[in-house]
Amino acid sequence: MAPVTSLSDSVNKQLADALASALPEADGVDPLLRRSDRADFQANGILALAKKAKANPRDLATQVVSQVVTGDVIKDIEVSGPGFLNVTITDKSITENLAARYADPDRLGVPQAERPGTTVIDYAQPNVAKEMHVGHLRSAVIGDSAAQLLEFTGETVVRRHHIGDWGTQFGMLIQYLDEHPHELDHKEGEDLQQSGQAAMSNLDRLYKAARRKFDADEEFKTRARRRVVDLQSGDPHTLATWQKFVDESKIYFFSVFEKLDMEIRDPDIVGESGYNDMLAETCRLLEESGVAVRSEGALCVFFDDIKGPDGNPVPLIVQKSDGGYGYAATDLSAIRDRVFNLKANRLVYVVDARQSLHFKMVFETARRAGWLGDVWLDDDVKAYQLAFGTVLGKDGKPFKTREGETVRLVDLLDEAIDRATAVVREKDTLGQLSEEEIAERGAQVGIGAVKYADLSTSANRDYKFDLDQMVSLNGDTSVYLQYAYARIQSILRKAGDVRPAAHPELELHPAERALGLHVDGFAETVAEAAAEYAPHKMAAYLYQLASLYTSFYDKCPVLKAETAEQVENRLFLCDVTARTLHRGMALLGIRTPERL
């Protein structure tokens, strides 16, 4: 399917051409077209241009207007204010453009990026033997959407789940499991949700017991420390026990991702341990190039602008004085892998803003080593932390249980599903849905609500986790969008044999024009949200789409429209809106059930 040129792009092009013939030096200048309340579009690029050319902006605008050919797309163009251009477009071009998008149900005419590359996106990175919490939710939800948005623009996306599967804490876990070999056993043949929960409850119990013993028993502590050394030196038995922790944890992770309705693939899980073979080489390269220096035995990188509260520089420690490697060495090795083996052009890290200093130092180190490019050179590999804020409780403080513990992600998800199921049940006043359907819809609505609440504010901001608000039918929620979609499907079903069909010859109601112009803007939103790794822009677009649809529906009867052509055309408007909603929601990782 050929991509469709959006109306704003074709108007912008016509204005740019007119501008260039009115003023030769304006060749290539962007007329800066925006949607506007006064007309369909307003261009305000002439002001700056006239100022530069020392011309009168209104005169220049008038000249541009005289160059524009009206008819097909532009119906009317006039100068307004100090030199703005107000543009009204024809009803016919709106309907024709939407018809072209409608003919491409998958992509809705959205073009691919001009120069797609390869992006490695690091997201959904929980830690082995530990419960997942709301921070892991944010990384998973934002990362999944960013990955899908990028893929939709034609980018090659490599997913990496940098799970925490290495570190000194494994010494006590391994030793404890060896001394209590059945601690991780659970029944076979359960479904993924049951095995996931059983695995996690074993891991959690074992973790706490091992920690208690480690703190209380000096001899156990010594044995545990020895196992850290064994693990690092690759002792096969120690590695096999370590692997059990990883395998059990993965069962749990996959159960949570399943609940989250998110596809995570095993080969994309490359945890910290996946870079063990590269660590020594990473250190050697950094030391030989002088990027890192030895300081009190540790291998460190220093930065002029990074100092602690005492005014002393805070280094990035790549290797500790005892020879151990930490989080930084792993991340630096992962960069080498992603740049040189995976041949990435861009690296995106969906990680909590509280790790920003770490990434700032890691990126700067990689830049000095020549693994990442200088920011000002376009062809170089760039790294970006898509940093997200904290999830807060209703009290505005970081989300905790009443006892002050971290809230288990599964508990939250279950509660969201319960609430949503109640809403679905309540809404089904005619009792049309079976119990099974209610449960399925409840899950889609509940998980959608949690994802949407996370995605609809810009990632770097904190947000309050408020389930009442999340599953509300009114306001900026996924439920509202899902209902808009389901309502359209119900109209299409009611239409029976009458099929949606575009009739470009029909005059449009203002509510139809507003809806149509917004649908046409989908491609622009995709491009922007993908380029800026900003799913919240897609969420805002979809919310507005549903609102415009609601006011169209209030003002324009569909099945009871005056003529048969009008019925068909309005059904077509409904359907193209539904497809856009469906596509956009899928890019956020949210389902749009056909019936609610």
Please give the residue ranges that form the binding site for ligand ARG (CB under 6 A). Answer: 122, 125, 127, 162, 164, 331, 334, 349, 351
Asked if 139 and 163 count as a contact pair (C-beta separation under 8 A), the reply is no
Of 127 and 238, which has the nearer Cβ to ligand ARG?
127
Separation between Cα atoms, residue 257 and residue 263, nearest integer Å: 7
Separation between Cα atoms, residue 523 and residue 104, nearest integer Å: 13
Q: Nearest approach, Cβ of 122 to ligand ARG (angstroms)?
A: 5
Q: Nearest approach, Cβ of 271 to ligand ARG (angstroms)?
A: 8
Of 127 and 145, which has the nearer Cβ to ligand ARG?
127
Q: What angle do CA 388, 111, 2 make, to 5 degrees?
A: 160
Q: Nearest approach, Cβ of 132 to ligand ARG (angstroms)?
A: 9
Partners of 384 in the β-ladder: 348
Of 20 and 387, which has the nearer Cβ to ligand ARG?
387
Q: What's the CA dihedral at 56, 57, 62, 65 to 10 degrees?
A: 150
Q: Nearest approach, Cβ of 249 to ligand ARG (angstroms)?
A: 12
- Token pair, residue 157, equals 């996306």
Please give, one letter per residue, the 3-state secondary structure of 34-59: EECCCCCEEECHHHHHHHHHCCCHHH
Q: Nearest approach, Cβ of 320 to ligand ARG (angstroms)?
A: 18
Asked if 466 and 545 count as a contact pair (C-beta separation under 8 A), the reply is no
Asked if 413 and 419 count as a contact pair (C-beta separation under 8 A), the reply is no
Of 346 and 579, which has the nearer Cβ to ligand ARG?
346
Asked if 180 and 235 count as a contact pair (C-beta separation under 8 A), the reply is no
Instruction: Give just the sign of the alpha carbon dihedral 227, 230, 231, 237.
Output: negative
Q: Nearest approach, Cβ of 117 to ligand ARG (angstroms)?
A: 20
Of 9 and 462, which has the nearer Cβ to ligand ARG?
462
Q: Nearest approach, Cβ of 137 to ligand ARG (angstroms)?
A: 11
Of 93 and 273, which has the nearer Cβ to ligand ARG?
273
Q: Give kind and range of the element (H or E) at residue 253.
A: helix 236-259
Separation between Cα atoms, residue 254 and residue 252, nearest integer Å: 5
Residues 6+ apart with CB under 8 A from 143: 121, 122, 123, 124, 159, 350, 386
Of 303 and 327, which has the nearer Cβ to ligand ARG?
327
Of 122 and 248, which has the nearer Cβ to ligand ARG?
122
Q: Is 426 helix (H, G, I), strand (E, B) or coil?
A: helix
Residues 6+ apart with CB under 8 A from 575: 102, 488, 492, 500
Q: Nearest approach, Cβ of 163 to ligand ARG (angstroms)?
A: 6
- Token pair, residue 422, equals 């109640």
> Rounded to the nearest 10 degrees, what angle do helices 169-179 and 236-259 cross at?
100
φ, ψ (nearest 5 deg) of residue 125: -125, 70
Of 347 and 567, which has the nearer Cβ to ligand ARG?
347
Q: Nearest approach, Cβ of 327 to ligand ARG (angstroms)?
A: 7
Q: Nearest approach, Cβ of 593 to ligand ARG (angstroms)?
A: 32
Look-up of token digits 């055309």: 569
Of 246 and 439, which has the nearer Cβ to ligand ARG?
246
